Structure 1
């Protein structure tokens, strides 16, 4: 399959991306709908969750991506691989996570990953970053106690900000106060591999959903 060329940066605040995504008929998406779900926000070409779905057939995987051509190609690759525990949705995660998760069986979401999100370096653009307090609150609403969020970036400033947002929410606790030296998951993203091959650092953290928010 030919490589799809798309814009590297998409402004999630533009009018084009303000309509929340409609949830698919999940019973037609996943063969076993009540399996634990791993949500990957900003999945790009979807290779990470494709490999994860192949390795862990007793889990379901959902990749969200704001660049529609990448989602179309990723779903074609999923179909070619014959996977019934994987799906990709074109959406702006910041206004679609709630509608997508609310339509799934309660408690299936068990793990979330947000990996190498667009850093939006310019200060006036930082409100475009995906990890906003509203997104953290929605993930806290749907993740059961013990569910985890895995964060990583090759930009320390972005990694710190993501961690700060989760630490500010009473429903999350960081598992380790130091950056993780290793990826706790069995698959690396393409960006992670290329960063490590260049000998550059990756900043990683895991947060766990805790009870007793009051």
Structure 2
């Protein structure tokens, strides 16, 4: 099989990432679509989502990834593993999150959202490319139930602080702790988290709950 080179960073504001996606039929995607749903925004190779799907079979997991080759590769790998409670798909979350959630209708089972180690886009003029923009925060809150959670993790403190600030600005979100969480709330790790911890470097984590 040929190795597909995948760009580490893509500009989510470019024209090719502004095209609406075809919405799935969730009854075809998940055998038990009514189970609690965890969405991982920026699922990359799907390592975290696959591990979580194996560890928590009573949940459904949906990974959203803007780099199409990674999304397609991870979906093929998921099928090889036979994980029926996991679906990985290509989309721009800032554009597609709301229509994806609306496509569930009144049966929306969303309970939890994770955004882990997203692209930092350090230059000020590029920060509008960061995934967690105010409009997306509003969309996340609109579809989370009361007590639903948003979990963020990053190895870049500047970016983690930016995400915390954006989430903290929403009146319906409350941070569960003032300080960074010392440990992940998840029983699985992303590739980036594993490498960061192996290097002895810090990971900045926070949880917000909808009130």
Q: CA deviation at 1:107?
A: 4.2
Q: CA deviation at 1:3?
A: 5.6
Report 1:21-36 matches (<5 A).
21-36=21-36
- Alpha-carbon separation, structure 1, partners of 2:143 and 2:25: 19
- Alpha-carbon separation, structure 1, partners of 2:27 and 2:44: 24
Gaps of 5+ in 1: none
User: Is the 8 Å Cα contact of residues 101 and 108 (structure 2) preserved in structure 1?
Assistant: no
Q: What is the SS of the residue equivalent to 1:177?
A: coil
The aligned counterpart of 2:158 is 157
- Alpha-carbon separation, structure 1, partners of 2:129 and 2:120: 9
Residue 51 and residue 4 in structure 1: after superposition, are their counterparts in 2 closer, same or farther (change >3 A)?
farther
The aligned counterpart of 1:47 is 47
User: Is the 8 Å Cα contact of residues 4 and 73 (structure 1) preserved in structure 2?
Assistant: no
Q: What is the SS of the residue equivalent to 1:205?
A: strand
Q: CA deviation at 1:2?
A: 6.7
User: Is the 8 Å Cα contact of residues 59 and 85 (structure 2) preserved in structure 1?
Assistant: yes
Q: CA deviation at 1:23?
A: 1.4
Q: Does 1:91 align with 2:78?
A: no
- Alpha-carbon separation, structure 1, partners of 2:31 and 2:3: 29
Q: How many residues are matched?
A: 210
List per-residue Cα deviations over 1:152-194 (Å, max 9, x = no partner). 1000010000000010001100000100000011101110010
User: Is the 8 Å Cα contact of residues 22 and 99 (structure 1) preserved in structure 2?
Assistant: no
List per-residue Cα deviations over 1:125-161 (Å, max 9, x = no partner). 0000000000000000000001001001000010000
CA RMSD of aligned residues (A): 1.1
Q: Does 1:38 align with 2:28?
A: no
- Alpha-carbon separation, structure 2, partners of 1:137 and 1:178: 24
Q: Which contiguous aligned blocks of 4+ residues in structure 1 show a shift greater than 3 angstroms?
A: 1-4
Q: Normalising to structure 2: TM-score of the pair? A: 0.97
- Alpha-carbon separation, structure 2, partners of 1:114 and 1:3: 27
- Alpha-carbon separation, structure 1, partners of 2:150 and 2:204: 14
User: Is the 8 Å Cα contact of residues 22 and 100 (structure 1) preserved in structure 2?
Assistant: no
The aligned counterpart of 2:5 is 5
User: Is the 8 Å Cα contact of residues 106 and 142 (structure 1) preserved in structure 2?
Assistant: no
Q: Does 1:110 align with 2:111?
A: yes
Q: Does 1:130 align with 2:131?
A: yes
